[in-house]
Amino acid sequence: MLKPDKTMLDLILFAFVAGFLALGLRRPFIWVLVYVYIDIVAPQKIGWTLMPAIPVSLIAFAAAFIGWAVLDSKKGTRVTFRQGLIVLLLFYCGYTTMTAHFPEDALEKWAWVWKALLFAIFMPLTLRTRTRIEATALVMVLAAGAVMISAGLKTALSGGGYGSLASLVQENAGIYEGSIMSTVAISMIPLVVWCARYNTIFPKHWTVWVFSVALIFACMLVPVGTQARTGLVCLAVLGVLTLRYTKYRFALIAAGGFAMMVAVPFLPQSFTERMATISSYQGDQSASTRVQVWKWTIDYANNRPLGGGFNVYRANSFTYETRKEVERGNTVVVETAEVTDEGRAFHSAYFEMLGEQGWVGLGIWLWIQALGLWQMEWIRRKLRKSDDKTDQSFVALADALLMGHIVYLVGALFVGVAFQPFIFMLIALQIALTSLVKRRTEEAKAAERRLRRNARRDAIREAAPAQPA
């Protein structure tokens, strides 16, 4: 017999999701937001009986597409080159799945990858206005924030642990996997700040900033709780990127250094010991294994340039030597050990793409990422001198998406997040923002041309001789 609290949790989750879906009957775009929430939080995994039995993800996915196709306006909708690249990547992944090294394992990953890619293609089509972009960014922040707040609280109360910090679900996959959670937590911080400063959905109030600061603190605690070295590297990168957008760089550096000095004595010993292994991969078996996997992946891709399909890492096998310094009395001795391993994950989005999709797939994926960085920088340079408040908010959003994207790309060096849904949603926001800025620019130019045309016509009329009565 189930405990009452579990039954109540199921009922609350069901009521919330059902209510969220019901709102879409008046505003079909809300179904897009429902899917964003479900895809990030996965409430069907939080529940115990009712929620796991209902295909809420499929329902929201279908509602979002049908609602847009049948009920939503298409005014201002445009398909971009970057969406075309994602379409190309989708079909290419479908091809490598059909020719995969391990067909059954490949289908298991394909089952969720195609939805992440298809939604990234579809999502910008619905984000036609500033309000919709703001609403999507806000739901992404709040949905991911639910995961980070839970992880942050558990870290503050228990200190966490590598591979043992559970957030909303007892699962070590997707956004709930420690390194992925840390990467997403740090990459979303700029978006949290933007929502607090520029979002018009919530009224300006001190409580918004209190919540935002608390959420940022929870995000910064996630790498401590998960003890993921990737999170520490991402946090350092975010700190460096922040220097570009502040006038008081030296004050920020001093404040960051002081905060580190104060925080270090309170960090768990297991965390500091694990972070110390960053400087020497040979002394850490996990890091040494990654290096060997990456070497194997390069050799595999050279022999099979089109890739081996999803989960091809199961084919790897290698033997390598680890080195570890051990104190014996007053001397330090270097001990070596031979390790044989096989079927180890890529632990890098770049090598994940290279092994699974080959050089072609990696090239398409990198092209998608690079275009995002360039487009956000283009928006910044184009609108940064504008006095229009909307343009200023767009510049700030472009900066937030650029910083978050760079943090993700750095974190992706050490964790397999090539198809992480949250990151592809961030990419969809970039596409939608770029399309909106271009459309506003084109409309402004068209309005200016109309004014000049009307001015010339009026000047011709005034210069024409008066007709005799």
Q: What is the pTM of this model?
A: 0.87
Flag whether pLDDT at 3 surpasses 80: no
* pLDDT for 266 beyond 50: no
Task: Check residue 351 and give its pLDDT.
Answer: 94
Lowest mean pLDDT among 190-199, 272-281, 373-382, 428-437: 272-281
pLDDT score at 287: 65
Q: What does the pLDDT read at residue 97?
A: 95
pLDDT score recorded for residue 461: 76
> What was the pLDDT predicted at 145?
92
- Segment 161-170 mean pLDDT: 65
Q: Which of 99-103, 164-168, 384-388, 413-417 has the lowest mean pLDDT?
A: 164-168
pLDDT bin (cut points 50, 70, 90) of residue 444 is confident
Mean pLDDT across 331-353: 78
Mean pLDDT of 261-286: 50
| Average pLDDT rounded to a whole number, residues 176-198 | 91
Among 163-177, 260-274, 424-438, whose mean pLDDT is lowest? Answer: 260-274
What number is the average pLDDT over the span 208-232?
A: 86
pLDDT (0 to 100) of residue 283: 47
Kindly report the average pLDDT of the chain as a whole number.
Answer: 83
Q: What is the 3-state secondary structure (H, E, C) of the chain?
A: CCCHHHHHHHHHHHHHHHHHHHHCCCCCCHHHHHHHHHHHHCHHHHCCCHHHHCCHHHHHHHHHHHHHHHHCCCCCCCCCHHHHHHHHHHHHHHHHHHCCCCHHHHHHHHHHHHHHHHHHHHHHHHCCCHHHHHHHHHHHHHHHHHHHHHHHHHHHHHCCCCCCCCCCCCCCCHHHCHHHHHHHHHHCHHHHHHHHHHCCCCCCCHHHHHHHHHHHHHHHHHHHHHCCHHHHHHHHHHHHHHHHHCCCHHHHHHHHHHHHHHHHHHCCHHHHHHHHHHHCHHHCHHHHHHHHHHHHHHHHHHHCCCCCCCCHHHHCEEEEEEEEEEEECCEEEEEEEEEEEECCCCCCHHHHHHHHHHHHHHHHHHHHHHHHHHHHHHHHHHHCCCCCHHHHHHHHHHHHHHHHHHHHHHHCCCCCCCCCHHHHHHHHHHHHHHHHHHHHHHHHHHHHHHHHHHHHHHHHHHHCCCCCC
Q: Select the highest-mean-pLDDT range: 68-82, 217-231, 402-416.
A: 402-416
pLDDT over threshold 60, residue 382? yes
Arithmetic mean of pLDDT, 405-422: 92
> Residue 329 has what pLDDT?
60
pLDDT digits 0-9 by tens, 68-82: 999 888 887 888 999
Segments making up each domain of the chain, as ranges: 1-72, 79-126+282-446, 136-279
Residue with the larger pLDDT of the pair 456 and 383:
383
Q: What is the pLDDT of residues 125-148, one digit of tens each?
A: 999 999 999 999 999 999 999 999
pLDDT tier, 1 (very low <50, low <70, confident <90, very high otherwise):
very low
Percent of the chain at pLDDT > 70 equals 82
Task: Tell me: pLDDT of 342 over 90.
Answer: no
Average pLDDT over residues 258-271: 50
Provide the pLDDT for residue 222. Answer: 87
Mean pLDDT across 205-232 = 86
Write down the pLDDT at residue 49.
76
pLDDT at residue 410 is higher than 90: yes
- Confidence (pLDDT) at 166: 67
Q: What pLDDT is stored for residue 447 in this prediction? A: 80
Tens of pLDDT along 45-69?
887 777 888 888 899 999 999 999 9
Q: For residues 454 and 296, which has the higher predicted lDDT (pLDDT)? A: 296
Highest mean pLDDT among 219-233, 250-264, 383-397: 383-397
**Mean pLDDT in residue range 363-391:** 93
